[in-house]
Amino acid sequence: MTFQRARRPEQRAERRRAILATAAAMLAEMPVADLSLNELSRRVGLAKSNVLNYFDSREAVLLELSSSELSAWVQDLATVLSDQTPESTDERADRLVTTIVGTLAKRPVLCDLISTQAAVLERNITTETALTFKRAAMVAFERLIGVVVGVLPELGPEGAGRFIAAASLLAGAIWTHSHPVPAILAAYETDPALSAIRMEFEPALTDALRALLYGALPRDQGR
């Protein structure tokens, strides 16, 4: 893919979309750590300096992609949980956890981006990029609070916010540990005795979120 020089706003917008789409395609075949600005530039058909005319760094590209992925996931979650049926608190809590884990597992790119956000993606960016990303994250956070409270009104907005904040940290950490580098994966495969410490994403996150959520629910719910 090659581009003529972008002169009009719609042309610049198209360049940005192309860069983001190419980055998303790359993340379908490699982890965030392996995505380089040089390779992204080559695949999108622009010089590295030209890519930097649209995004101030590799991290800025990935943060915008993360915002888009997060927004799409929140919409997925809201859609799946929109079917309100009379259930006990335990049943609704279990449905919330199961849906969160299931929909996240279907979005490996988002999980990888979440797992690298604080340590990698939020570095080497401008204040403008940081503001744009955090404002988008705040919108998603507020939407998530509404989704969680819609399923479990017992939590209230404050409790839902605490649950979401902790759940995102758990999801990122568990994703990292459940997708080890090749040397660690080879060690697990070489020594079956190590299986006791090998982490699988969905069961590990399910257990962690259940413990977190049940601890956050009011104690008078008869657990």
Query: Residue range 77-104: average pLDDT?
Result: 91
CA-CA distance, 182 to 185, in Å (whole number)?
5
Domain coordinates in residue numbering, the chain: 1-54, 58-221
List the one residue out of 164, 66, 61, 173 whose CA is nearest residue 113: 66
Whether 202 and 107 have beta carbons less than 8 Å apart is answered as: no
> What is the average pLDDT value for the chain, to the nearest integer?
91
Residue pointed to by tokens 């994403």: 201
Look at domain 58-221 and name its CATH class.
mainly alpha
CA-CA distance, 95 to 80, in Å (whole number)?
10
pLDDT digits (tens, 9 = 90+) for 116-170: 999 999 999 999 999 999 999 999 999 999 999 999 999 999 999 999 999 999 9
CA dihedral 154, 156, 161, 167 (to 10 degrees): 0
pLDDT at 223: 42
pLDDT digits (tens, 9 = 90+) for 185-205: 999 999 999 989 999 999 999
Q: Kindly indicate the confidence band of residue 78, based on its pLDDT and cuts at 50, 70 and 90.
A: very high
- Locate 40 and state its tokens: 């992204």
Whether 65 and 16 have beta carbons less than 8 Å apart is answered as: no
What is the fold, at CATH topology level, of the domain defined by 1-54? Arc Repressor Mutant, subunit A (1.10.10)
Residue type, 121: L
CA-CA distance, 101 to 206, in Å (whole number)?
6
Share of the chain above pLDDT 90, in %: 83
How many Cβ atoms from other residues are within 10 Å of residue 78's Cβ?
A: 15
What is the pTM for the complete model shown? 0.88
Query: Residue range 194-217: average pLDDT?
Result: 93
Q: Kindly indicate the confidence band of residue 5, based on its pLDDT and cuts at 50, 70 and 90.
A: low
pLDDT digits (tens, 9 = 90+) for 102-123: 999 999 999 999 999 999 999 9
